[in-house]
Amino acid sequence: MSSTRKLLRSNFLLILFIAASCSPPDDPVKCSTKDSDCTITNCYGMFPDRSTCRAGNVAYPGTEEEIVSIVSAATKAGKKMKVVTSFAHSIPKLACPDGVDGLLISTKYLNHVVNVDAAAMTMTVESGMALSQLIEEAAKAGLALPYAPYWSGATIGGILSTGSHGSSLWGKGSAVHDYVIGMRIVSPGGPDEGYAKIRILNESHEDLNAAKVSLGVLGVISQHEFADMSWYPSQRQVVYRVDDRVSPDVSGEGLYDFTGFRDTLSLVAESIRTTEETQESNGLDELKCVSAGVTTTILGAIAYGLTNNGIIFTGYPVIGYQNRLQSSSSCVNSPEDGLITACPWDPRIKGEFFHQTTFKISLSVVQSFIEDVQSLVALEPKSLCGLELYNGILMRYVKASSAYLGSQEDALDFDITYYRSKDPLTPRLYEDILEEIEQMAVFKYGGLPHWGKNRNIAFDGVFKKYRNVTEFLKFRVGKGMLAARGIK
């Protein structure tokens, strides 16, 4: 990954309260003994199908040699394996090893910088490193990752496996995997290979395109470099974010600590959830719309978590270094405080519980999709207020990628977050409208679902949408993950 450290002027135009410390997320893997008879969940404590995933064992390698030895022993014993990170921030059941005897291989202790080459502007890191750590380490060397997901509490392995991205059509685009110039992958091998092998891929290997996005198996376009939009369909409003580079001579200590990713007082998160549950169970759509309007007004007033100096927001433009503005996850990195505060969705408190439908639609047809959604809102004006409580529909640019499972065309990515009931049999308000949007996106407009979000229906027939899927399948090492997501 490479680029120079950049000073950015940010003109971008959620709700929770900040405390001095926070309870970092719980470990997604729990075992009845030290490392056996385990369960694995995601950071929300619930997979889309609400089932519990069990695994026989978990292993915590600290070096590549240890990974080889673990993979070798498990392959010899015929065990199914899955990689689990210390966060499990993906919604789908990606890390479930498909069978109670399966083995989880955790990247928790694989979080070191291997090499920094400031002259070549490249870094080599272990796959369990958090994006926040990568950004920090790069900055120390005067480097910056050009584009990143907005959430820095994910690991590099997880980000690459699910094709995670920020927003841009410039240069190589916004997906992190398009900045990868080499990878080392440990896969099962035959007896003559000692049941495990290391595959070393660099830019001259076509297989790098298979490995970059591996699923763990192995209007008018803005002229600005970064741009995204938050669309509030029921309010008929869009907030545009515009970022520009400025000369390094321009001083600025701006910081983006997105309010929705901050440590939140558990009592506040619980009271917001109780209000949402009351509105949902009593069909109070009018009130939901009022709450949505209040939420977006407050968010705008507090500049979404932007500050000009790391403490206070005094006005736009906010100027600062790329590493301080591009991505945030402060609720993950704060010290333990006994759950007085937590990430707003932490399943140990009764806070946010939502679902996300996220897909990329080709720029050639995206206008029609947006018009279809507008027509639905015209029919049911209050139907999408609920998702405006989660800062509306986030729209980001993703460029066509050479990765076999990356974006197939230049596209607009839509992130839709909305209420989920704790009771599996209770539908959400206007569920029909939300499902119609999902169906239009995925089937009518051939949208590509984000690999790390969505429920299973979004992946129905998904491989037919990828030109080089055969090349990917040739490289794949196991069928377990695909079966787990209902992909044959």
Ligand X SMILES: Cc1cc2nc3c(=O)[nH]c(=O)nc-3n(C[C@H](O)[C@H](O)[C@H](O)COP(=O)(O)OP(=O)(O)OC[C@H]3O[C@@H](n4cnc5c(N)ncnc54)[C@H](O)[C@@H]3O)c2cc1C
For residues 129 and 158, what is the distance between their CA atoms, to the nearest angstrom? 10
Q: Which residue's Cβ has the minimum distance to ligand X?
A: 158
Tokens of 381: 């004006």
Q: Is 420 in the site for ligand X (CB under 6 A)?
A: no
Q: Is 95 in the site for ligand X (CB under 6 A)?
A: yes
Q: Is 408 in the site for ligand X (CB under 6 A)?
A: no
Distances (CA, A) of 421 to 289, 352, 355, 403: 19, 10, 9, 36
Tokens of 457: 């229906």
Nearer to ligand X, 46 or 154 (CB): 154
**130 Cβ neighbours under 8 A, 6+ residues apart:** 87, 111, 152, 153, 154, 155, 156, 329, 332
Q: Is 24 in the site for ligand X (CB under 6 A)?
A: no
How far apart are CB 410 and ligand X at their closest, in Å? 16
- Total binding residues for ligand X by CB under 6 A? 30
Q: Which of 302, 327, 329 is nearest to 314 (CA)?
A: 302
User: First-to-last CA distance in the chain?
Assistant: 33
Among 10, 72, 133, 164, binds ligand X (CB under 6 A): 164
Q: Which of 390, 378, 382 is nearest to 285 (CA)?
A: 382
For residues 292 and 288, what is the distance between their CA atoms, to the nearest angstrom? 6
The contact pattern for ligand X, residues 251-290, with x = CB under 6 A and - = no contact, is ----------x-----------------------------
Q: Is 159 in the site for ligand X (CB under 6 A)?
A: yes
Cβ distance 405 to 467 under 8 Å?
no
The contact pattern for ligand X, residues 205-224, with x = CB under 6 A and - = no contact, is ----------xx--------
Distances (CA, A) of 273 to 65, 339, 422: 46, 16, 11
Q: Is 89 in the site for ligand X (CB under 6 A)?
A: yes
Q: Is 111 in the site for ligand X (CB under 6 A)?
A: no
Rg (CA), the chain: 22
Among 10, 72, 127, 291, binds ligand X (CB under 6 A): 127
- Segment contacting ligand X by CB under 6 A, of 147-155, 280-288, 400-408, 461-469: 147-155
Q: Is 150 in the site for ligand X (CB under 6 A)?
A: yes
Nearer to ligand X, 97 or 386 (CB): 97
Q: Is 149 in the site for ligand X (CB under 6 A)?
A: yes
Q: DSSP secondary-structure letter at 392?
A: S
Cβ distance 60 to 41 under 8 Å?
no
Residue-by-residue DSSP string for 183-224: EEEEEE--GGGTTEEEEEEETT-THHHHHHS-TT------SS
How far apart are CB 28 and ligand X at their closest, in Å? 7
- Segment contacting ligand X by CB under 6 A, of 133-141, 157-165, 246-254, 465-473: 157-165
Within 43-82, which residues bind ligand X (CB under 6 A)? Answer: 43, 82
Alpha helices in 197-346 (DSSP H): 207-212, 266-281, 285-301, 322-325
Nearer to ligand X, 138 or 481 (CB): 481
Among 10, 23, 41, 85, binds ligand X (CB under 6 A): 85
Instruction: Assign 451 to helix, strand or coil.
Output: coil
Q: Is 226 in the site for ligand X (CB under 6 A)?
A: no
Cβ distance 405 to 164 under 8 Å?
no
Nearer to ligand X, 94 or 349 (CB): 94
For residues 27 and 271, what is the distance between their CA atoms, to the nearest angstrom? 25
Residue 106 has φ and ψ, to the nearest 5°, of -90, 140
Q: Which of 416, 419, 413, 482 is nearest to 277 (CA)?
A: 419
How far apart are CB 87 and ligand X at their closest, in Å? 4
Q: Is 161 in the site for ligand X (CB under 6 A)?
A: yes
Q: Is 83 in the site for ligand X (CB under 6 A)?
A: yes
Q: Is 157 in the site for ligand X (CB under 6 A)?
A: yes
Among 53, 58, 145, 154, binds ligand X (CB under 6 A): 154
Nearer to ligand X, 87 or 475 (CB): 87
Within 443-462, which residues bind ligand X (CB under 6 A)? Answer: 450, 452
- Segment contacting ligand X by CB under 6 A, of 7-15, 55-63, 156-164, 306-314: 156-164
Q: Is 342 in the site for ligand X (CB under 6 A)?
A: no
Decide the pairing of beta strands 196-202 and 226-232.
unpaired
Among 10, 72, 75, 90, binds ligand X (CB under 6 A): 90
Element of type H or E holding 395: strand 393-398
Q: Is 134 in the site for ligand X (CB under 6 A)?
A: no
> Which residue's structure tokens are 């090893």?
97
Cis peptide, bond prior to residue 28, ω within 30 of zero = no
Nearer to ligand X, 234 or 266 (CB): 266
Interface residues with ligand X (CB under 6 A) are: 43, 82-85, 87-90, 94-95, 107, 127, 149-151, 154-155, 157-159, 161-162, 164-165, 215-216, 261, 450, 452
